[in-house]
Structure 1
Amino acid sequence: MFLFNKKQVMTNEEKILGYLKKAIPSSKINGNGVYLSKYKLTIEPHIGKIDNNSLAKVVDLFFNIKHELFCESFIESATGIGKNLEEAFQQCVDHFLVGPLYVIKNCISGKSNENFETTFLGKRKGWQLFQGSIQGISDEEEKKYIRIWSIIGEKAKARLGNKKIYWIKIYIGKFSNGEIISKCRINGVYNNEISDDISEYIKTWKGNRDIYSLKQYFLIKQHSETYSEYEFSEETVKEFTKRAVKVLGVCNSEEKLRELNDDIYKITGDLNLAYEIKSFIPEMLCELVFRNVKYADKISIIKDNNRSLEFYKNQFTSYYWIYSELANNYYHRNILEEEIKTIILLSSSYEVINNALDTGTKIQDLKNLEITLYAFKEYIPA
């Protein structure tokens, strides 16, 4: 009698790890990820969606990138199409390697394309730009006409605050029917203004084709000598946010409103972060509820003597950490309906929206709605 060992079937996750290891020299599989010892970098792939279409397999993968440079979640997505899952997985991996990973490795190695300076709160900030190659166009002659950084650079620089790393992802689609799609994401967040600028830029292209679909990645790293380390981690700010929602959700009386600052401070132990969490959550929740309104990218903060300071949302270290946690809880229905109503009544945006609707303005016609907040004298954004 002969005994045969049954061949072990690899999971999809194991196959993806194998493709990454094979494609990246000197890498090794470590748990749920692939570790690149030369760069001290870990890549953890996760399957987002598999579409088992009869004609082709379509896969969305997410790559969680971990390195000491990144003080917040750095997750990039890739889509692959193939006649089978293996082909689709391989295409996702290929897109990741020539796109974000190429720029990340250059950043860790210090191979920058440009150095520049900005100011934030009167302090000089030094930066290095790491620019990825254009994905989707192989014709070098056509690439000469495409200078994305020259279009987005100044506005991107204006949005830099004190974070150690900013990453920018550009997607452009131009189709034969005249449709144009342009998307700019800064640290994973869609930026309306820069996306619109790119859309206008596309109309000037002089390439030989009517159809384009391309991506480009940029990383901007702050010099260590100008970087001021932020006191709180992303996970800590998100935990504070979750707890603050419960406090704000019952702030339905004058007495509770008077106690609100102290109640949020008891959560954070920091006046600046307490102010940001207390002030941002109502405005963000209003934005999530009234999604058809176009909100401005800026926040005006009025301090003593009516002195107004303007900041882009990206310049606050905490802003999109708070937003991410709030949005996650909102979409997963972890915030009660009564809490939502109570919280958005605390926002300045709701008052503007409500007044506009009372005068007959359609909600989709409300554009560039800017947030104005009042801060205590000693407040310092970070």
Structure 2
Amino acid sequence: MGIFDFLKPKKKELDVNTYLLQRLKQRIEEKGNLVEFSTQYAAILINSEIEIATVVMKGDFHPFILPLLTITINKDYFPKGIESSLMGLGTTIEEKVESAIDNYIENIFTTIADSFNDTHIDEYDFKSIINNREILWHPKMSKSLVQGKWNETNNQINLYSVIEERVKKELKDYKFNWLKLYISRQPNGEISGECLLNNELWEEGYYLLEEYAKKWKDAGEFLGQKQFIMFRRCDAYDL
């Protein structure tokens, strides 16, 4: 089954997903964007440039959790979409939807939208060699968000810094690359997470995150950390 098959409305989730898209449209419009509903499937189109499709995932989840899959699409640069699994938390549909939207806007949408601006932060810029060609990259990233009770453990470490040197060798010669990082430790010490580069599992990156999480203190507490990064090839290096 293709990823866009998930975007076809299903009876049980239609009302929740429709409400979620309505609220997402309103929230993004509040930021000064022109937003309209897609005529093809459950999605919205922002400034005729970025499309966001959403679906509420099926499964046996806690009643306070709204599991959500988002696909953020640009037909020129990422036509297959940037995939992201999110969760909304709350006791009502309204609370869960707002929580999911907060999660998406703060961690994903703002970073993607900002990456379309050819601005840069000098301390993060770097060059790589791909197919014997030098390329300058402008990374844009969300805040390094933390979950749980961080008491003894340093929660100021930028998650991107854990994989920063290694990822420079992994980028493809595309206008945009993207990286989704998540690592967590359960109270029993079990570590899990994901490291996705251009929607694909990047095993070396995950192992680096895992080794980082093994150093966390606060035994018996749940801890989690996540971050989303976009890499824009500098316009001066476009062919």
Tell me which protein shows more strand as a share of its residues: 2
Amino acid at match of 2:132: G
Whole-angstrom CA distance in 2 between matches of 1:46 and 1:159: 30
Which of 123, 130, 142 is matched with 1:120 structurally? 130
What is the aligned partner in structure 2 of residue 193 from structure 1? 204
1:90 pairs, out of 98, 102, 106, with 98
Gaps of 5+ in 2: 1-13
1:30 and 2:37 correspond? yes
Q: Deviations over 1:95-127 (max 9, x none)?
A: 111111121122123343321111112111111
Amino acid at match of 1:130: K
Aligned 8 A contact 1:172 1:183 in 2: yes
Q: Which residue number corresponds to residue 45 of structure 1?
A: 54
Report how far residue 88 of structure 1 moved: 2.6
Higher Rg: 1
Cα distance change of structure 1 residues 22 and 71 upon mapping to structure 2, 3 Å threshold: closer
Q: CA deviation at 1:206?
A: 5.6
Q: Is the 8 A contact 1:48 1:62 kept in 2?
A: yes
What do residues 208-241 of structure 1 show as CA deviations (whole Å, max 9, x unaligned)? Answer: 984212211111111233334xxxxxxxxxxxxx
SS in 1 for 2:177: strand
Instruction: Decide whether the 8 Å contact of 1:169 with 1:217 is kept in 2.
Output: yes
Report the CA distance shift for 1:69/1:152 in structure 2 as closer, same or farther (over 3 A): farther
Q: 1:129 aligns with which of 129, 134, 139?
A: 139
| CA-based RMSD | 2.8
Q: Cα distance 1:130–1:43, how it changes in 2: closer, same or farther (>3 A)?
A: same
1:173-202 per-residue CA deviation (whole Å, 9 max, x = no partner) reads: 012212122421101111211111111112
Contact 2:111 2:228 survives alignment (8 Å): yes
Partner of 2:108: 100
**TM-score, normalising length: structure 1:** 0.50
Superimposed CA distance per residue, residues 312-366 of structure 1 (whole angstroms, 9 cap, x where no aligned partner):
xxxxxxxxxxxxxxxxxxxxxxxxxxxxxxxxxxxxxxxxxxxxxxxxxxxxxxx
> Partner residue of 1:277?
none
CA deviation profile, 1:125-176 (whole Å, cap 9, x unmatched):
111111211223497x9432x2322220121111113122111111110122
| Count of residues in correspondence between the two structures | 215
Paired AA for residue 21 in structure 1: K
Equivalence for 2:17: 13
For 1:1-382, what aligned pairs fall within 5 Å after superposition?
A: 11-24=15-28, 25=30, 26-27=32-33, 28-31=35-38, 32-37=42-47, 40-49=49-58, 51=60, 56-67=63-74, 70-73=77-80, 74-113=82-121, 114-137=124-147, 142-144=154-156, 146-205=157-216, 210-228=221-239
Contact 2:118 2:235 in 1 (8 A): no
Length-normalised TM-score, structure 2: 0.77
Say if 1:13 and 1:175 are closer, same or farther in 2 by CA, change over 3 A.
closer
Q: Aligned equivalents of 1:46 and 1:193: distance in 2?
A: 30
Secondary structure, aligned partner of 1:133: coil
Distance 1:69 1:149, change over 3 A: farther
* Structure of greater relative contact order (alpha carbons < 8 Å, 6+ residues apart): 2
Cα 1:75–1:183, aligned 2, differ >3 Å: closer, same or farther? Answer: closer
Task: Give the % identical residues.
Answer: 20
CA distance in 2, matches of 1:105, 1:137: 24
